[in-house]
């Protein structure tokens, strides 16, 4: 299994500002994944973060808006930049361990 | 990329009734995963199916992978209030390095 923590658990931010979300895993992993879950919706993959290289972004997501860092094999950050109310979502990080995908508890972001 | 659809979107059942959610793809899948997300929680991995026609059981839950590997189902026998949540099917590659793409989910409500 994998134990994943995220900080902050929730935040209320003003439009135009940025928020950095941290994800910490209890053991080393090659890939970390960042998802967004808008209210009442499914999970949408934002990007895949591989340690030592630039993150790979899914269609509709760009590095300028969602810069990701992956400084080591147990940690990653996702920044939501220049926020607007449409960015209000839950942001989750996840890792794969064998066939299973484990998720952090999520960061609930509200942009006013 | 691979996409899956799920039906129904919502299901309300009386406690003790059975429940089934279906996951369908227009293309052949390498595998299918199922997750459960309780209200306010994060997705939790339930199972992965890999083989054509595979059937797996977990207590009251029965998972099936179609012969053509284009569809899957999750059946819950005699639902309980603890079954409340959203059930997602998801597709991924063959390794833990591969991203996981989620279906839209089926939200289950159980009326006591």
CA distance A82 to chain B (A): 26
* Confidence bin at A1 (pLDDT 50/70/90): confident
Helix and strand tally (H, E) in chain B? 0, 11
pLDDT bin (cut points 50, 70, 90) of residue A10 is very high
**CA neighbor of A16 nearest in space, from A88, A81, A89:** A81
Q: In chain B, what percentage of residues exceed pLDDT 70?
A: 97
Least CB-CB distance to A105: which of B42, B98, B103?
Answer: B42
Alpha helices in A34-88 (DSSP H): none
Q: State the Cα–Cα distance between residues B19 and A81, nearest whole angstrom.
A: 42
**Pairwise CA distance, residues A23 & B5, whole Å:** 30
Task: Express each pLDDT in A81-94 by its tens digit.
Answer: 999 999 999 999 99
Q: Is the dihedral of CA A97, A20, A48, A83 positive or negative?
A: positive
Residue A5: count of CB within 10 angstroms of its CB:
13
Burial class (CB in 10 A: 0-12, 13-18, 19+), A55: buried
Both tokens assigned to A71:
């400084």
How long a stretch of residues is chain B? Answer: 112
Q: How many CB pairs under 8 A join A and B?
A: 55
* CB-nearest partner of A42 from B44, B95, B104: B104
Partner-chain contact A92 B42, CB within 8 Å: yes
Which of A42, A98, A105 lies nearest to residue B102, judging by beta carbons?
A42
pLDDT score recorded for residue A99: 83
Residue A64 has pLDDT above 80, yes or no: yes
Give the burial class of B56: count Cβ atoms within 10 A of its Cβ; 0-12 exposed, 13-18 middle, 19 or more buried: middle
User: What is the DSSP-derived secondary structure letter of residue A85?
Assistant: G
Confidence of residue B93 (pLDDT cuts 50, 70, 90): confident
Q: Measured between CA atoms, how close is A47 to chain B, in angstroms?
A: 9
Bond from prior residue into A8 cis (ω within 30 degrees of 0): yes
If pLDDT is split at 50, 70 and 90, which confidence band does B1 have? Answer: low
At residue B2 the predicted structure's pLDDT band, cuts being 50, 70 and 90, is low
Residue B21 gets which letter from DSSP? Answer: E
- Tell me the per-residue pLDDT of A90-112, one tens digit each, with 9 for 90 and over: 999 999 888 889 999 999 999 99
pLDDT band of residue B99 (cuts 50, 70, 90) is confident
Please state the rounded mean pLDDT for residues B1-20: 93
What three-state secondary structure class fits A3?
coil
């Amino acid at each position: 299994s994998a134990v994943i923590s995220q900080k902050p658990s929730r935040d209320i931010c003003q439009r135009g500002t940025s928020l950095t979300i941290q994800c910490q895993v209890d053991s080393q992993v090659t890939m970390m994944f960042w998802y967004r879950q808008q209210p009442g919706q499914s999970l949408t993959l934002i990007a895949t973060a591989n340690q030592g290289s630039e993150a790979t972004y899914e269609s509709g997501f760009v590095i300028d808006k969602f810069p990701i860092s992956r400084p080591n094999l147990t940690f990653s950050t996702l920044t939501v930049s220049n926020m607007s109310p449409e960015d209000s979502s839950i942001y989750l990080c996840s890792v794969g361990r064998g066939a299973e995908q484990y998720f952090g508890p999520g960061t609930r972001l509200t942009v006013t | 990329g691979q996409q899956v659809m799920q039906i129904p979107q919502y299901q309300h059942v009386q406690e003790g009734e059975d429940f089934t959610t279906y996951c369908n793809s227009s293309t052949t899948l390498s595998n299918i995963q199922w997750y459960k997300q309780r209200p306010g929680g994060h997705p939790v991995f339930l199972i992965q199916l890999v083989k054509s026609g595979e059937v797996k059981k977990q207590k009251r839950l029965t998972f099936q992978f179609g012969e053509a590997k284009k569809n899957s189902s999750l059946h819950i026998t005699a639902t309980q209030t603890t079954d409340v949540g959203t059930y997602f099917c998801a597709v991924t590659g063959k390794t833990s390095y591969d991203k996981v793409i989620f279906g839209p989910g089926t939200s289950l409500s159980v009326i006591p």
